[in-house]
Amino acid sequence: TTVTAVLAGMSAVLFAGCASTVPTPTPAPAPAASASSRTATATTERLPACSGPVVDGRVFTSDEIDLPPAYRDGPAVQYPAALRQAGVNGRVTLAYIINGDGSVDSTSVTVISATNPAFEEPSRKVVAGMRFWPGCLSGQPVRTRIQQGIMFDVQRDGGGAP
């Protein structure tokens, strides 16, 4: 299973499916861009936008930083076999903190909503294993809280095959 993550503003959607691909890397937006116009896409290449110590450990939102975090890499989403075989699609929305080193603070991962409770654990696992390019404020990495949706689509994931 291949995973695609697209971060728009600071909301993100991850798709569990075979047909998905990682978009071509895009340059980071200029720091002067407004929070609502910033877009970060899944990429394994991004110029180091910030360096140095993490800004005082405080957790920021996308409205407070110059450059949002960008997906770097992570594990594939595991579609629950029983739900896939039953043809059940779904979505889980999570909130979590991306640390200044780009790792996810696994203790911060919370489920905001889920269409089926069986989708929650695979969503938590995939998010905990993700790595990001950190968000930046004045050229320094910062901890950033984001929300992310994870979509489970049985048609895209190969129907009833386990």
Per-residue pLDDT of the chain (162 residues; tens, 9 = 90+): 333 343 333 344 454 433 222 222 333 332 222 222 233 344 445 555 687 777 777 999 989 999 999 999 999 999 999 999 999 999 999 999 999 999 999 999 999 999 999 999 999 999 999 999 999 998 999 999 999 999 999 988 765 444
pLDDT at residue 16 in the model: 45
Q: Is the distance from CB of 112 to CB of 94 less than 8 angstroms? A: yes
Assign 144 to helix, strand or coil.
strand
Q: Model's pTM, two decimal places?
A: 0.70
pLDDT, position 52: 77
CA of 157: how far to CAs of 76, 103, 121, in Å?
12, 27, 18
Strands (E), 28-139: 39-41, 59-60, 70-73, 90-98, 104-114, 131-133, 135-137
pLDDT of residue 57: 75
Q: What is the reported pLDDT for 159?
A: 53
Distances (CA, A) of 97 to 1, 34, 155: 25, 21, 31
- Smallest CA-to-CA distance from 78 within 22, 138, 14, 26 is with 14
- pLDDT, residue 45, reads 52
Q: How many residues does the chain have?
A: 162
pLDDT (0 to 100) of residue 38: 32
Q: Backbone phi, then psi, for 146, in 5-degree steps?
A: -130, 165
What pLDDT, on the 0 to 100 scale, is given for residue 11? Answer: 41
- Token pair for residue 54? 């993490």
